Structure formats: structure tokens, C-alpha cells
Amino acid sequence: MEQYLTQPLSLQTFIIFFASAVALLLLVLGFVTYAIYFERKVIGWMQARIGPNRVGPLGLLQTVADVLKLLLKEDTIPKKADKPLFLIAPIIAFVPSFAVLAVIPFTDKLHFADLGVGLLYYLAISSISTIGVLVGGWASNNKYALIGGMRSAAQMISYEIPLVMSVIGVILITGSLNLIDIVERQREIGMWFIIPQFLGFIIFLIASISELNRTPFDLPEAESELVAGYHVEYSGFRFAFYMLAEYVYVFAMSALTTVLFLGGWLPPFEFLSFIPGIVWFILKFSAVVFFLFWVRATMPRIRVDQLMSLGWKVLLPLALVNIFITAVVKEFIA
Amino acid sequence: MSGEFIAFFILSLFTIGGAVFMISFTRVVHMVVSLAFTFLSIAGLYVLLEAEFVAVTQVIVYAGAVAIMMLFGIMLTPHREQEEDAGRAQKVVAFIAVAAFFLIAFFIIQGTTWDPSVHHFTEDNTTMIGKTIFTQYVIPFELVSVLLLVALVGAIILAKREENDSE
Amino acid sequence: MDITAWNWEVMTPEFIILGTATILSLIDLFMPDDRDRRFLGILGLLGVIAAGFYVIKFAGAEPVQIMNDMFRLDSFGTAFKLIFLTGVALLFILSIQYLNRQNQEVQYRGEFFYLVLTALLGMMIMASSADLITLFVGLEVLSVSSYILVGIRKKHLYSNESAFKYVVSGAIATAITLYGMSFIYGITGTTNLYDIAERLASAYQQGFSLMIYLGFFLMLVGLSFKIAVVPYHMWAPDVYQGAPTPVTAFLSVLSKAAGFAIIIRIFLSVFRSIVNYQSDAGSFYVLFQELNLYIAILAAASMIIGNTLALRQTNIKRLMAYSSIAQAGYILVPLVTFWGINFFSQTLFYLVAYLFMTLGAFAVIMVVTTDRGTEDIRSFAGLYHRSPFTAIAMTIFLLSLAGIPITAGFFGKFYIFMSSVLYENYWLAAVMMGTSIISYIYYFGIIRQMYMRPGDTEARLAVPLPAAFVIAVGVLGTVAVGLFPDLVLNYLNQNLQFTDMFARP
């Protein structure tokens, strides 16, 4: 990224930067719109319902209508709220979710920043969102929002550690933090990291669901306990920002899982390589997204103390064991 | 004017601005949020210095952990919003001391002629950092683990609530 | 280079301390809560003795270094490590007494012992490395351990306050030190002290002199925190008062000695070789003929402030705090007049004397204040009638601290004073003389309480065995060093070639 920064900032390069960012944003918005639709449909089918089917053909325009409704709503600010923080918090939560997408390689050609520390960049930037959630919950001056924000931050911090630890096995095998190198390495050893790093994959999957605040770890927004969690006082487009951040993270995390453990754009078998990489990427990516929805439809929510002890007493030691085994195996094979 | 210069200018502005606001705000949560801005901007400055790994670590450790822990601590403890005013004389003395130090440091840095050539890192510096830490710097590295363990023990025994505590 | 290729054997003492601390923490973890944890102190003591055995075994050998001076075994480090290990051993004996079953203030006894050990590890590293990063990490291990030790009496208001003050001022001092180091690193691009010395000497000629001064001053101010001299002495009285008495003894003797170790190592190694060729008065060594003036000012200010403010104290631990500020000022004097080989033996001689007299004094203070339940100086009233031997021992310690002849403190001060006079630094010698006389007032104030004031009680003061042992060792050490100072000096000069600190193996 240095070469872009050091060259003179001409109008042309600026337009290129801007246009590619806008294109990605539109893509992500499209994804979010239909991910929500898809989620509702999937859960509907699993619960033997039909799901949205009124707005547009097959209900395809349902989310569009929902978004329009959100944007037209009044932007309320509680009287006792801490106004500046209340206004800025959704933005703090959203911006990192979009910024992490910069390092995700969709195929070997189609990617934005080829960063040497790509994986760490993702983990670092995504941790900033926690500040937005926490500050939003605090600034609302509402006990449910505050408890939701606290829970969310505690959960995100606790599960960030096993999340980071679980990918160290992958980093050890690859010898690089660059996400493109990680995929290339999976091509070299001839198998996706889900096989040699199965334990790491399981830990990563559980921790990532928790990082996304999704069921069974959706304690920050447990309706039955907290009304709606940290964004209870938000409405209109500020609420939309929080929702958007959440779904963009679903997009990013699924893409990251695909890249780290499922071989990114690599085909499962060599003879299938005539199909373009982007198709494979989308297929694997969709499978991961579907898995997230599936879990949401089938799992009950766990308790706070269970959540904490799972993170610290089960996942973290397992992740350490995984690192240890990987290091030993690597030492013996090398 | 290169993009690097503009980026440097903006990041410095944020770094210093965050620090100044941190001091001038009266509500503690506002202070921590502006401090988080300073941390992030410093990470940006590291990126400009081609120290990507340090930048990312800065974000993880300071913005991701320290700032959030501070927010937690503030939200979970009762506190008055207005701090007690320090005496006027104390403020004046502190200002004079800080201003004097600033002027001295400023003139010393201004008065030194620096080598203008720029050294670029050609190799993958994250790998280099890893290798150096585990070979040449292994003694301080292991000592740091002792340090962290001591800090952990200390934090637990000083903060742990006793069984017979009345609260 | 492969890390197994180095001679790791020279780090045996450090490994023993690290291992002992680890074992103690594990035993503490798995032991039922209601057990008496004092045997952990005995285990720790054994570890310290074992480490001391290896330090003595390696003493006098050719300097050895590991990994480009990350760790160095040289005579300078060995001497300091002997002081640390002796001090910690005595401190453990004292703590075993302090943490008896009657003491309900310290709930975390196991932690107390292994935090002292980690602090010891930090100090040993501070004495035996020639790399800024390792030295700094050692300093931080010591600092963090002592922050916790100061605050270990959780229910005690003063203890909490002092721990908080200590942490905050310590953190600021660390920041200042690091800021200074960053300038030095920025100019030289290395953290190895010998490389820094070479490059600084040439950088000085190339117009970086002001930058070097800035680094020097920031490091001096930051590191002065550890030895509690002006300008960073303000924390000492409050912290000494609030900390548990064995921890106060630790701070005033061992932590301070470690501070001197790092200061002497860094300043002598780094700034020694800078020469100013451009001056009108001919070329001269910048450290010994220019920067030492500022160290002298700090030393003089510490002596004056420490000794005069001590006059007004009624709390014995606060008084000892101001006294220790003044003592640190004395120990800085040889650094000002550094010239030739005697410097090391003078400093170390004083540190040895200071170790015995201060630890002994704190043992007495601990026994007396625990018995009377107050830390006021009046708690010493009538001590001679209650326990003559304790009173006599305390008298010896105080006379030694004051620098009255035939005690260790006298010769320590005498050598320092003579070095200052020989170096023709008369004003510093005069300050030292004058403030010593002022110090007689408050030291004799305690002695007067012990012999001439009637106490509230005439009951016999029972001195428990461990404390009695420490007091006895203190008296023996103070008197023996005072009677035969040449023995110590000869041992130091013959067995330890201090100048090998400057040699790169």
C-alpha cells in the first residue's frame, strides 16, 4: 500500500480509489439486503413457515422496503443521552466493519490491499467496533442499553483471544500473515487447512459466531432479558448503521473463514479448475453464511456465565493445545 | 505534495488533537474516546513509517484492549463528573514547566541537522521482527513473560473481592 | 547464530530464582487456603542461597556475554548480585517473622514471597546486562513487583494510598526514562551499550551534542526515581510509610541498590567515551567534566532536602524515608568524582554498609512498631529498659547511619568524602559534611527516646527469633565492616576486576 501512498495524489488515482471503494460498498449493501432476506427465508423454512413473500416476486423486495422504512423514520435522540457520543457511536461501529474488507482476497486477481500483515489487520480493525458498541450503549443512558453494551464488549474481548489463537496454527504452517499467501500455501500442500487444522477451525468457527454476536451467543441483544441490547434507544438510520455493521461483519467473517480454512478460491479437486475461482469462492462463502443461519435457527441461547467459562476455560486452552501440537508437528515434518 | 505528506499531516493533527481533547474534556468517557483516537492515529503514523506490524499491534493492544478496558473500568465504577480544581498556582507552575520543556525539546530537535536520506525496508519486516525476537532478544522476551505474569497476579490479588467483604 | 550455542550456564543464578518463584507460585496455587504459608519463605530462602552459591562460584572469572551482551557476567554484576541476594535472604527471614499468624493485614502470603523473588530476578537482570532493552525490562519487573508488594495490605488505607502513588509516579518516571532512551537509540540505532558508546562519541562530533544532553537528562531524571533522589524523591515518604515494614526495607535497600546498578552501568558505559575536542580549554571528557556537575547538584540537593526534612518527622518510617533520600545523595558522590578504579569499591563499600545498617534498623523498627501498634517515634521510648540488646543494636545502626567512627557507615562516608576532597570538589564535600551534622539531630533524637524517655510500658519486649537473627547479623555486619574496613575493600579489589565492565569479551 506504500506505493499508492507515495505517488502524487492526482485526480485520476483519487477517482480510482473512490470508485473501487464505492463499488465494494454497493456490493456489500447488495449482499446485506439479500442476506437478511435469505436469513428470514431459511429460518422460515426450518420452522415450517414460508417467510417473506409479499413484497415483490417471492418477497425479494422485502428488505428494500424495510430499509426504506428505517431511513424514513425519525432520528430520535433521548433527552438524557450523551449527545455527541450518541451520534458518533454508530459510525465508530460501522467504519471498521467496512475497513476490514480491504484485505480480503476474493480471487488471486481480485483483491484490494495486499497487506503483509493482512490477517492481523483484520483482527485489529474489527476490535475497534467494540468501542462503538460500548460507547453507544453508555451514551443512550438506558440501563438495558448499558448492560447490552457491557455484555457485548466483554464477549467480544473474551472471544477475540481464542479467535486470534486459533489462527496461529494456520500462520505457523504458512509462515506468513498475508491472506493471499495463506491461500497459496493451501494450494502447495494440496489440502485446505480445515483438514490439518480441524481443531483450529472448530475454535475459529465458535469464536467467530460469538464475535458476530449471533445466536447462540447473542446475549448483547437478548430480547427477553434486555429488550434489544445496546441499540435499544437508536432508531432510523443510526439503528440501520448498527444493523449494517453486524451484517457486514457476517460478510467479512464468512469470507475470512473461507480464505483461512476452506481454500479461498481454490477448487476442491484439480479437474474442476476450469471453473473460475470466484465461483468457488462464492460457493464456499455461501455455505459458511448458510451455516451461520442454520445455527441461529437451531441453537438455544446460552447463559452469561456459560459463555464466559466456554471462552476462557474451554476454547482458550484448546487453542493453546492446537498451537502446541501444530508447532511440534511442524518441527518434526520440517 | 504526496499522499504520504497529506496523510502525515492529518494523522498528526488527530494524534495531537486527541491528546489535547483528552485533557480538556470533563467527562471521563469522552476523554477515553479521544484517547482512542490518539492511539489509532499513532497506528496510522506507524504505517507511514512502514512498520505495519507495530501499527497493527498498536491497534490491537491500545485501541482494542486498553481503551475498552478503561471504558469498562469507568462505566463500572461510580465517579463524579467534575474533578476537583487544582489550585491556580499549581496550574501556572505546571504550565511553565511543560512550556519550558516543550521549548527546550523543540529547539534541540530544530537545531539538529538530520540525515535527509530515507531508509526503506526491503524485506518482509514482520518475519524479521519474529526472527529477531526469538533469537537475539529471547532473554528480554522471556523476561517480559515474567513481567506480565507478575502484573496478572498483582491485578488479581489487589482487585479480587474477598469472601468476607461487606459489599 | 543458534541460541543453544551460547554458554547458558552463566545464567544459573537467574534460572534458579526464576524456577523457585515458579515452584512457589504453583505450590501456593494448589495448597489449601487455610494452611500456614511461611514454609514457602523457607523454600524461597533456599533458592536464594543456592543462587548465591553459584554467583560466588562464578565470581572473579573472565567476563562472559550471551547474545551480543543481552546478558553479561562480569564483576560489576556479581558484586551487586551478592548484595541483592544477601539482602533478600535477610528479608525473607524478616518476612517469615512478619507474616505470622497474628498478622491479619496481609492475606496473600504466598504471593508476597514469590513477588519478592520476581523483584529479585528483575534486580539481577538490571545488574548484569549491557543492552538497553534487557535493562529496561529488568527494571520493569522490579517495579511492577514492588508496586504490588507496597499495596499488599489491602484493607490498610495508607497502604492503598501509597501503592497508588507509587504506581502513578513510577509510571511517569518510566515514561521519562524511555523518552530519554529513545533519543539515544534514535541517534545511534542500537540498544547495545558498547555500540551506543562508540556511535555516541562520533555523533557528538557531528552536531548531535544537544540531543545527547537531552537524552542524558531525561534518563537521569527518570532513573532517579528508583534511587529516590531529587528531583524524583517525593514519593518516598508516603510510600515508605504505607508499605508493610519488610517491603519498606526492601525499597530502601535493595530496590535502591538496583537503581544504582542500572544508573552506573548505563551512564558509565554510554557516556564515558564522549570527548569534546572543540572546547577552548582543550579537549575533555564530557561526562566527567561537564555532565557530572548536574549529578553533583542532584546529590547535594538530596542530601540537603533529605536531612533537613527528616528533622520534622515524627513517624519513624517517614523519617527513614528522608534519611534514605540523604543516603542516596551520599552514594551518588563517587559517581560525580568518578576517576579511576576506587570508584567501584567506594560505592559498593557504602552499599554493603548501608545494607547491614538499614536492614538491621528496619528489623528493630518492625519489632517495636508491631509491639506498640504505632509508628510514632515515641514508640521507642524506654526501649533500653524493655530490651537492652535491641536498644544497643538500634543505637549501633543509627550511629552507623549517622557516620560515627568505628561503624561501617563511618568508613563508607569517609571514603566517599575523601574521594570528593581528592578530586578537589570541595563544595560537595562541604555539603556532605554539613548535612551529616544536621542528620545527627534526628538520629540522636531516636537514641534519646530509647534511653532517656520513659515509655508507656516497662514490660519486657520479646524479640522473636527470626527478627533477632536479622538484628544480630546487622550488628555483626555493621561492626565487623567498621572494625576491619580493609578486609572488605581488599576483597572487593582483589576478587572483582570492576573495569571488566567496559571490556567486550
Which residues, in sequence order, are CB contacts of C17 under 8 Å at separation 6+?
A: C47, C48, C51, C117, C120, C121, C124
Considering only CB atoms, which chain C residues are within 8 Å of B139? 66-67, 70-71, 129, 134
Bond from prior residue into A220 cis (ω within 30 degrees of 0): no
- Judged by DSSP in three states, A112 sits in coil
Considering only CB atoms, which chain B residues are within 8 Å of A134? 68, 71-72, 75
CA-CA distance, C250 to C243, in Å (whole number)? 10
Considering only CB atoms, which chain A residues are within 8 Å of B60? 120, 123-124, 127
Residue B105 sits at the chain C interface (C-beta within 8 Å): yes
State residue B86's pLDDT score: 66
C-beta separation of A156 from A211 below 8 A: yes
Half-sphere exposure of A33 (CA within 13 A, CB side): 16
- Closest Cα in chain B, distance from residue A157 (Å): 8
CA-CA distance, B83 to B69, in Å (whole number)? 21
Residue B102 sits at the chain C interface (C-beta within 8 Å): no
Which residues, in sequence order, are CB contacts of C68 under 8 Å at separation 6+?
A: B136, C131, C192
Interface of C with B in 74-113 (CB under 8 A): 107-108, 111
- Judged by DSSP in three states, C276 sits in strand
User: What DSSP line would sit under C64-108, residue for residue?
Assistant: EEETTTTEEE-HHHHHHHHHHHHHHHHHHHHHHHHTSTT--S---
DSSP state of B121: P
For C2, the closest chain B residue by CA position comes to: B135
State residue C101's pLDDT score: 66
pTM: 0.89
Q: Examine the pLDDT at C466 and tell me if it is beyond 50.
A: yes
- Closest Cα in chain B, distance from residue A127 (Å): 5
Residue B146 sits at the chain C interface (C-beta within 8 Å): yes
Q: How do residues C324-366 score in pLDDT, each as one tens digit?
A: 999 999 998 888 876 666 778 888 889 999 999 999 999 999 9
- Closest Cα in chain A, distance from residue B125 (Å): 9
pLDDT band at C70 (very low <50, low <70, confident <90, very high): confident
Place of cell 524456577: C19
Q: How do residues C12-23 score in pLDDT, each as one tens digit?
A: 999 999 999 999
Q: Examine the pLDDT at C304 and tell me if it is beyond 90.
A: yes
- Asked if residue C38 is part of any domain, the answer here is yes
Q: Examine the pLDDT at C441 and tell me if it is beyond 80.
A: yes
The shortest CB-CB distance from B140 to any of C133, C207, C213 is to C133
Chains contacting C (3 or more CB pairs within 8 Å):
B
Residue A198 sits at the chain B interface (C-beta within 8 Å): no
Half-sphere exposure of C114 (CA within 13 A, CB side): 25
State residue C91's pLDDT score: 92
Considering only CB atoms, which chain C residues are within 8 Å of B137? 67, 70, 133
The b/e string for C469-479 (b: 16+ C-beta within 10 A; e otherwise) is bbbebbbebbb
Considering only CB atoms, which chain B residues are within 8 Å of A85? 29-30, 33
Which residues, in sequence order, are CB contacts of C236 under 8 Å at separation 6+?
A: C228, C321, C322, C324, C325
In the predicted model, what is the mean pLDDT of residues C296-322? 92
Query: Which of A306-310, B87-91, C73-77, C141-145 is the most confident on average?
Result: C141-145
Q: How many domains does chain C have?
A: 1
CA-CA distance, A46 to A20, in Å (whole number)? 38
| Angle of CA points A24, A29, A33, to nearest 5° | 150
Q: How do residues C207-223 score in pLDDT, each as one tens digit?
A: 888 889 899 999 999 99
State residue A136's pLDDT score: 86
Tell if the CB–CB gap between C67 and B153 is shorter than 8 Å.
Answer: no
The answer to whether chain A touches chain B by having 3 or more C-beta pairs less than 8 angstroms apart is yes
Q: How do residues C99-131 score in pLDDT, each as one tens digit?
A: 876 667 777 788 888 899 999 999 999 999 999
Q: Examine the pLDDT at C79 and tell me if it is beyond 50.
A: yes
Query: In this predicted complex, what is the ipTM?
Result: 0.89
CA-CA distance, C128 to C118, in Å (whole number)? 15
CA-CA distance, A6 to B150, in Å (whole number)? 44
Q: How do residues C383-418 score in pLDDT, each as one tens digit?
A: 888 888 999 999 999 999 998 888 888 888 888 888
Considering only CB atoms, which chain B residues are within 8 Å of C123? none
State residue A178's pLDDT score: 84
Report residue A261 as a C-alpha cell: 480454512
Residue B113 sits at the chain C interface (C-beta within 8 Å): yes
- Asked if residue C1 is part of any domain, the answer here is no
- Region B3-122: CATH code: 1.20.120.1200
C-beta separation of C72 from C35 below 8 A: no
State residue C279's pLDDT score: 74
Considering only CB atoms, which chain A residues are within 8 Å of B64? 124, 127-128, 130, 157, 160
State residue C125's pLDDT score: 93
Average pLDDT, chain C: 88
- Output the tens digit of pLDDT for each of chain A's 334 residues: 445 545 556 677 778 778 878 888 888 888 888 888 888 888 888 888 888 888 878 878 888 888 888 888 887 888 887 888 888 888 888 888 888 888 888 877 777 777 778 888 888 888 888 888 888 888 888 888 888 888 888 888 888 889 988 999 888 888 888 888 888 888 888 888 888 888 889 999 999 888 888 778 777 666 666 677 788 788 888 888 888 888 888 889 999 999 888 888 888 877 777 778 888 888 888 899 888 888 888 888 888 888 888 888 889 999 999 999 988 988 887 6
Q: Examine the pLDDT at C241 and tell me if it is beyond 70.
A: yes
The b/e string for A169-193 (b: 16+ C-beta within 10 A; e otherwise) is bbbbbbebbbbbbbbbbbeeeeebb
pLDDT band at C485 (very low <50, low <70, confident <90, very high): confident
How many percent of chain C have pLDDT more than 90?
44
Residue C279 has a CB neighbour count (10 Å cut-off) of 12
- Determine the residue among B121, B146, B149 to mutate to test chain C binding: the one whose Cβ has the most chain C Cβ atoms within 10 Å: B146
State residue B167's pLDDT score: 43
Q: Examine the pLDDT at C137 and tell me if it is beyond 90.
A: yes
Name the more confident of C3 and A94: A94
Residue B25 sits at the chain A interface (C-beta within 8 Å): no
